[in-house]
Structure 1
Amino acid sequence: MALDSRTLAAISGDDDLLLLSLMQNDEKHQPIFHLQDISDSQYKQLFRFDRPGLLEIQSAMGFPEFMSCPNRTKFNSMEGLHVLIRRLSYPNRLEDLSFLFGRTKFELSNIFNTTLDFIYEKYERLLLTLDRPWLSPGDLDAMTTAVSDKGSPLDNCWGFIDGTIRPICRPRQNQRVVYSGHKRVHGLKFQSIMAPNGMIAHFYGPIEGRRHDAGMLRESGVETEMQHMMNRPNNDVFCVYGDPAYPLTPYIVPPFRGAVISANQARFNKKMSAVRVCVEWGFGKLLSLFAFLDYKKNQKLYLQPIGKYYKVAVILTNCHTCLYGSETSTYFGLRPPTVQEYLRL
């Protein structure tokens, strides 16, 4: 009867009738299709990865075959990955996913959060350190060569650092804390380092939207880590290139600033700006794969773990780059690490 009412409501445009037909939200629905029955192209469009790729991620992340939610809802870990990725890939409501997966919205909420927590608790550390096997001195040399070959005046630049503010739904409390006067938006700030092989090598945040990039750099501690790890045998260092908000240090190089700069300095800024655009490609890919993050009405500061959403999405984006490459890795001609190399703890 609910289905007939829903059909009638859609035909007649009666919103009250449509709401009445959807009131039984606590009931399970039959899934509208089975995952094994859809084509490979449809599968990848829905879940961002192909079937072999998602199986590889499940294995590399060490998911158990079955998982249990705090309310004792049991589910297959592959189902959990499907729910997580589909939820993040588009601003879906849980009611919409209920018809897709054949579970109630309460079950889906628990499955989503349990899978999210598993990845976050186990792999968040990958985003907070540069001590990774795919950032060895040999790999860093290859990255600096690739950046230099694209016209960079710096022969020791291995990556690009950037701070970005992501809009959120305006909170009722502490609005001034998260308001950015520069961007004129309420939001949370994140800092990322994009490597030329397409990987987001470091990802820090969130912090309050009103904070400056230089303060976020200091709080992240990434420069201190670079002082210990980014040194070359010839007493030179590996550096990253940033925007004018960052201070000039041996490990971080910003463009030349000032109202009047020389022709050589302007040429330097222009050439570095051309290769630095890959930072925008990296965040563009993140939001393209996981558009849920780009819909600010879904980002409710005191109701949702927004930072956790972003960090898990970055981990999954890096896994996507490992499997399929990216615009950045193609541009610089570098191959990203394998999923197993990236997820190695």
Structure 2
Amino acid sequence: MAKSREERELLKLAIENDDDELVYFLISKRPESTFRHFTRFNINNLTNSQCINNFRFDKHMIFQLANSLNLPEKIVCPNRTVVYQVDALCMLLRRMAYPNRLSDLESLFGRPKSTLSFAISKTLDIIHDRFGHLLKNLNNAWFNGRLQIYADKINEKGAPLKNCIGFIDGTVRPICRPTHNQRVCFNGHKRVHALKFQSIVSPDGMICNLYGPMEGRRHDCALLRASNIMEYFETDMRRDRGGLPYCVYGDPAYPIRDYIICPFKAAQPSPEEEIFNRRMSSVRQCVEWQFGKIIANFAFLDFKKNLKIFLQPVAKYYIVGALLTNCHSCLYSSQTSEYFDLEPPTLEEYLQR
């Protein structure tokens, strides 16, 4: 009994002094219940720099994000454990922020990995079910009210098009090799097993549309057809002040339509065509910046060894990662919005239902 008390006191001291090695050593010797008792998570004990490092948002913004996402005050896990709103959001953010195992997070949150798994999964489902529609269509008030502003900002950056409102592209997200039907997910171009997504990025740094997942072997045109983006533009084709239909710009993989513009594909383009391709390519790079921001903020989504489609909701993780990246852009701006000198919508404008 005396030895047990000594270990508890030593564990308290190790936690207070941030001695991770000693904490892990003592945890490995103590039962799980004792570990939970002494290391229960409290965000108020963290500094802003620690919050940004662990969760990608500072302390104040985490509370604001939890309220804007309208998460329940208490999340009841299937094992009847109760996790509070901010704690559950922090668990999800920490899980996605960097490659980790659930057992690695026990020391931070003071919960067993079973509870962490339940809480993270439930929070992920809540955010996806409530706000996934923001990425599925373009009929959003904050987007439709800015079309002419988008076109003007892109044109001001030297783009020859005066009616371009955004940029469309597909991205290949590597995953662990599936145990069944692995050829369906194999992308021959990237030489990796993957899921594919298609995004439209606006000049304020927002991912205004995200379609996916599709099998890694599929071409970008297959995603375009399945996403119904063409039907949206055809049935609700809006025009700029000059009477031209608004369009998005993509790479040579996409077909040319009134509302989808691509580079000139001639083997020997004329000088005018070369200038057009070069000037549009210089502004189109922002779509790659946003793909990179998702992975930079939530590096767990880029750790393919732990992205196993038969064991985890891999696609749901990426979709929620895109939503949270948009939230991050609303609160902290982004490289794209700074490049085009256009502020994104506020968090409340973006998440309004």
The reply to whether TM is greater than 0.5 is yes
2:312 pairs with 1:304: yes
| Amino acid paired to 1:222 | I
| Aligned match of 1:89 | 97
1:129 and 2:166 correspond: no
Give the corresponding residue for 2:198: 191
> Is 2:234 the partner of 1:227?
yes
- CA–CA separation in structure 2 for the residues paired with 1:143 and 1:185: 35
Which residue number corresponds to residue 127 of structure 2? 119
Aligned match of 1:246: 254
More moved, 289-298 vs 51-60? 51-60
Matches within 5 A, 1:47-62: 47-62=55-70
The Cα shift of 1:72 comes to: 1.9
**Cα contact 1:26–1:105 (8 A) shared by 2:** no
TM-aligned CA deviation for residue 95 of structure 1: 0.8
The separation in 2 between residues aligned to 1:33 and 1:67, in whole angstroms, is 15
Does the CA-based 8 Å contact 1:27-1:104 persist in structure 2? no
Q: Which residue of 2 aligns with 1:14?
A: none
- Post-superposition shift, 1:37? 2.3
2:43/2:59 contact within 8 Å kept: no
Residue 280, structure 1, aligned to residue 288, structure 2: yes
Q: Separation in 2 of the partners of 1:266 and 1:23?
A: 68
Distance 1:210 1:25 in 2: 44
Contact 1:192/1:204 (<8 A) preserved: yes
Question: For the Cα contact (< 8 Å) 1:198–1:336, is it kept in 2?
Answer: yes
1:207 aligns with 2:244: no
1:175 Cα deviation after fit: 1.2
User: Is 1:258 the equivalent of 2:258?
Assistant: no
How much has 1:83 moved relative to structure 2?
Answer: 0.2
Q: Is the 8 A contact 2:331 2:346 kept in 1?
A: yes
Between the aligned residues of both structures, percent identity stands at: 48
> How far apart, CA to CA, are the structure 2 residues paired with 1:33 and 1:180?
41
Are the aligned partners of 1:25 and 1:95 in contact in 2 as well (CA < 8 Å)?
A: no
Q: Which amino acid aligns with 1:189?
A: K
1:103 aligns with 2:114: no
Long gaps (5+) in structure 1? 12-17
Identify the residue that residue 49 of structure 2 maps to in structure 1. Answer: 41
Distance 1:197 1:22, change over 3 A: farther
**Range moving further from structure 2, 85-94 or 34-43:** 34-43
- Alignment equivalent of 1:67, drawn from 49, 62, 75: 75
- Runs of 4+ residues over 4 Å off in structure 1: 1-4, 22-27
Q: Shift in Å at residue 331 of structure 1?
A: 0.5
**Pair 109,22 (structure 1): closer, same or farther in 2 beyond 3 Å:** farther
Aligned residue type for 1:164: T
1:64 shift after superposition = 2.1
1:157 aligns with 2:157: no
Shift of 1:231: 1.2
Rounded to whole Å, the distance in 2 between the matches of 1:183 and 1:101 is 38
Question: C-alpha separation between the residues in 1 aligned to 2:156 and 2:306?
Answer: 42
Count of residues in Structure 1 that have an aligned counterpart in Structure 2: 336
Secondary structure in 2 matching 1:177: helix
Deviations 1:10-58 (A, max 9, x none): 79xxxxxx8x947956764432874312221221121111122121221
Whole-angstrom CA distance in 2 between matches of 1:186 and 1:93: 22
* 2:17 aligned partner: none
**Residue matched to 2:180:** 173
Counterpart amino acid of residue 249 in structure 1? R
Structure 1 residue 315 and structure 2 residue 323: aligned?
A: yes
Measure the CA separation in 2 of the matches of 1:229 and 1:42.
46
Report the CA distance between 1:263 and its aligned residue.
1.2
Which is further off, 28-37 or 74-83?
A: 28-37
Distance between the aligned counterparts of 2:269 and 2:131, measured in 1?
Answer: 44
| 1:212 to 1:126, Cα distance in 2 relative to 1, 3 A | same
Whether contact under 8 Å (2:47, 2:59) holds in the other structure is no
* Residue 230 of structure 1: how far off its partner (Å): 3.7
Partner Cα separation in structure 2 for residue 242 and residue 31 of structure 1: 50
The alpha-carbon deviation at position 59 of structure 1 amounts to: 1.4
Once residues 21 and 84 of structure 1 are traced to their aligned partners in structure 2, the CA distance between those partners, rounded to angstroms, is 24
Q: Classify 1:33/1:102 alpha carbon distance in 2 versus 1 (closer, same or farther; 3 Å).
A: closer
Deviation at 1:162, TM superposition (A): 0.4
CA contact (8 A) 1:241 1:253 kept: yes
Looking at structure 2, the residues matched to 261 and 229 of structure 1 have their Cα atoms a distance apart, in angstroms, of 33
Partner of 2:154: 147
- Structure 2 distance, partners of 1:303, 1:235, is 50
